Amino acid sequence: MRSHPLREQIIAEVHARPFQKLQAPLGMRHIAVVYDGAPLKEIQQSVLRLGDMLGLKETTGKSRFWQAENADLALRFEAHHEFYTLTLTALNTQELPQLPDEWLACVPGSFLCGAEILFRTHQANADEDAWLNRHFGDYQVNSSMVMSGVGQMWTDFYPREDSGMVRVLVEDRGLQLQQAGRLLQRICEIETYRHVALLALPLANEVVPVINQLEAELVDLSTRVALEEPSVLLHQLMNLAERLEALSAKTSNRFSAADAYFALVNKRIGELRETRIEGRQTVEQFMDRRLDPATRTCRTAGLRIEQLSRRLARTTQLVRSQVDLSVEQQNRDMLSSLSKRAGEQLRLQAKLESFSIIVVTYYAFDLIDRTLRNLVENEEHRHLMEAGLSLSVPFIALMLWLYIRRLLRGVGED
């Protein structure tokens, strides 16, 4: 038995992005960057250069995942389908790590979003309000107990003016090392996936007026199906179908990706296992109120395009049915005309056949006359028979006419 050629690749994918073992205190800076056409190799070289600048030693090196660390810092790189993420962690301190300005100036891609996470151990006598005011000011803070009560988080989901990143405070109330790593990574993924999912919202807002216009045109064409020439309607429907297909090609990938990312956001929120704190809004409640309308807008836009495509197909089929009925009517009229002409030709032929009675009578008379001349030697008897034959000409003609009339009777009826 031989090993499947993709077995190693599948196993590597399952274990491609392991959770970090983290403990408080620490500061984490996480950014998501859209490729913007930059090749993956160039991005990998940039990340390696960042690791060298920070004096990090590589611990995991793969094509789409890379990790390096030293005693004070840890850097994590993950490549996704249309973006990549970098997570820089300052260990054993609540100070946020800084990415070098000279590296940021030449990093490939476009900055999309980021999160700044401060992780501390629970302090019974700590002034929570002072800590929150220092980081969030007057913004409304969302908070909940997470991981079944062994952690707590606070955030306002509002980008800070100095960094453009969302600040998240997390407190350890009994988290294990891997549990803390999963929690912080899920917080980073929620922030990343919700922004990538919302890339579809501007596109949805842009195409909604176009969808409205196409729907109005289709309604107008549908009301004219029974009134106008089908060939004209088919031409207009084909033009409408071409525009709709172009719109579908422009939006289908983005809307499909948005739907998948929205699902990931909901899944990661569920994995937080939140418990509500009285007077505070949970992450799930915040997303339901703020993210759900955007989700519905994108899904509705994609659904309307699919429904419009099906309605257009039904209208086109209706017009084609009318064209088919018109063609069948023309074929039936043509066949009826051909049948009528054939009938007329047969009737004319039947009438012309009656004139053949004279010819047949003549040949029959001549044949009998020649026979009598050859068989009867007595001239007197032959003259008598010829006289009788002459008198029988009308009877011969009558018999032939009756015989031909009988033959042609069925043809006339057909």
Q: What are the pLDDT digits (tens) for 197-219?
A: 999 999 999 999 999 999 999 98
Rounded distance, CA 180 to CA 264, Å? 20
Whether pLDDT at 408 is above 70? no
Round to whole Å and give the CA distance between 36 and 374.
116
- Position 322 scores a pLDDT of 75
Residue 103 confidence (pLDDT) above 90 = yes
- Look at the block and give the residue holding tokens 């620490």: 26
Model's pTM, two decimal places? 0.76
| 234 and 317 together in one domain | yes
More reliable by pLDDT, 409 or 256: 256
Alpha carbons 298 and 261: distance in angstroms, whole number:
12
Across the chain, mean pLDDT equals 87
d(CA 388, CA 173) in angstroms, rounded, equals 141
Task: Between 215 and 63, name the one with better pLDDT.
Answer: 215
Which pLDDT band holds residue 97 (cuts at 50, 70, 90)?
very high
CB contact at 8 A, 203 and 185 = no
**Distance between CA atoms of residues 250 and 201, nearest Å:** 14
**187 lies in the same domain as 206:** no
CA angle at 86 for the pair 85 and 88, rounded to the nearest 5°: 150
The whole-angstrom separation of Cα 226 and Cα 242 is 23
CA–CA gap between residue 240 and residue 217 (Å, rounded): 8
9 occurs within a structural domain? no
Per-residue pLDDT averaged across 308-329, rounded? Answer: 83
Is residue 411's pLDDT more than 80? no
Task: Supply the DSSP string of 353-372, one letter for each residue.
Answer: HHHHHHHHHHHHHHHHHHHH
pLDDT (0 to 100) of residue 221: 86
Are 94 and 225 found together in one domain? Answer: no
CB burial of residue 116 (10 Å; 0-12, 13-18, 19+): buried
Do 312 and 241 share a structural domain?
yes
Lowest mean pLDDT, pick from 223-232, 280-289, 330-339: 223-232
Which helix (H) or strand (E) segment is 91 a member of? strand 83-91
**Do 267 and 135 form a contact (C-beta atoms < 8 A)?**
no
The answer to whether residues 181 and 44 belong to one domain is: yes
**pLDDT for res 11:** 66
Q: Give the residue-averaged pLDDT of 18-41.
A: 92
Q: What gap in Å lies between CA 188 and CA 144, rounded to an integer?
A: 16
Q: How many domains does the chain fold into? A: 3
What strand order describes the sheet that includes 83-91? 57-61, 65-69, 73-79, 83-91, 26-34, 110-121, 166-172, 151-159, 142-146, 275-276
Q: Please give the helix or strand (H or E) that residue 397 lies within, else none.
A: helix 393-413
For residue 356, tell me if it sits in a domain: yes
Q: Which single residue is written with the structure tokens 């056409």?
A: 37
How far is the C-alpha of 343 from the C-alpha of 335, rounded, in Å?
12
pLDDT given at position 378: 72
Statement to judge: residues 163 and 266 lie in one domain: no
309 pLDDT more than 80: yes
Under 8 Å between Cβ of 75 and 51: yes
Say if residue 31 is in the same domain as residue 131.
yes
Residue by residue, DSSP assigns 322-335 as: HHHHHHHHHHHHHH
pLDDT band at 315 (very low <50, low <70, confident <90, very high): confident
Least confident of 2-16, 141-155, 321-335: 2-16
If asked whether residues 33 and 131 sit together in one domain, one would say yes
Measured CA to CA in angstroms, residue 216 lies from 33, 72, 277 at distances of: 40, 62, 49
Task: Check whether residue 250 and residue 352 sit in a common domain.
Answer: no
Q: Are residues 290 and 187 in the same domain?
A: no
Of the residues 278, 301, 329, the one at which a domain ends: 329
**10 found inside a domain:** no
What confidence score (pLDDT) does residue 386 get?
A: 72
* Confidence tier at 409 by pLDDT (50, 70, 90): low
AA identity, residue 145:
M
Residue 378: count of CB within 10 angstroms of its CB: 9
User: Which of 144, 165, 192 is where one domain is finished?
Assistant: 192
Give the closest residue to 104 by CA, choosing from 163, 27, 37: 163
Which residues in 158-172 are b (16+ Cβ under 10 Å) and which e?
eebeebebbbbbbbb
CA angle, 199 then 200 then 201, to 5°:
95
What angle do helix axes 283-375 and 379-391 make, rounded to 10 degrees? 150
Q: Which domain holds residue 164?
A: 20-192
Q: Which residue has the higher pLDDT, 67 or 319?
A: 67
Q: What angle do CA 251, 82, 68 make, to 5 degrees?
A: 165
Residue 166 has pLDDT above 70, yes or no: yes
Q: Which amino acid is at 76?
A: R
Secondary structure of residue 118 in the 3-state scheme: strand
Q: What pLDDT does 90 receive? A: 95
Whole-number pLDDT of residue 68: 94
* Residue where a domain stops, chosen among 192, 213, 245: 192
Whether residues 309 and 379 fall in one domain: no
Alpha carbon of 201 to those of 197, 288, 301, 314: distances in Å?
A: 8, 16, 10, 29
DSSP 8-class letter at 96? P
**Position 403: which residue type?**
Y
* Whether residue 321 is found in the same domain as residue 357: no
pLDDT of the residue at 98: 93
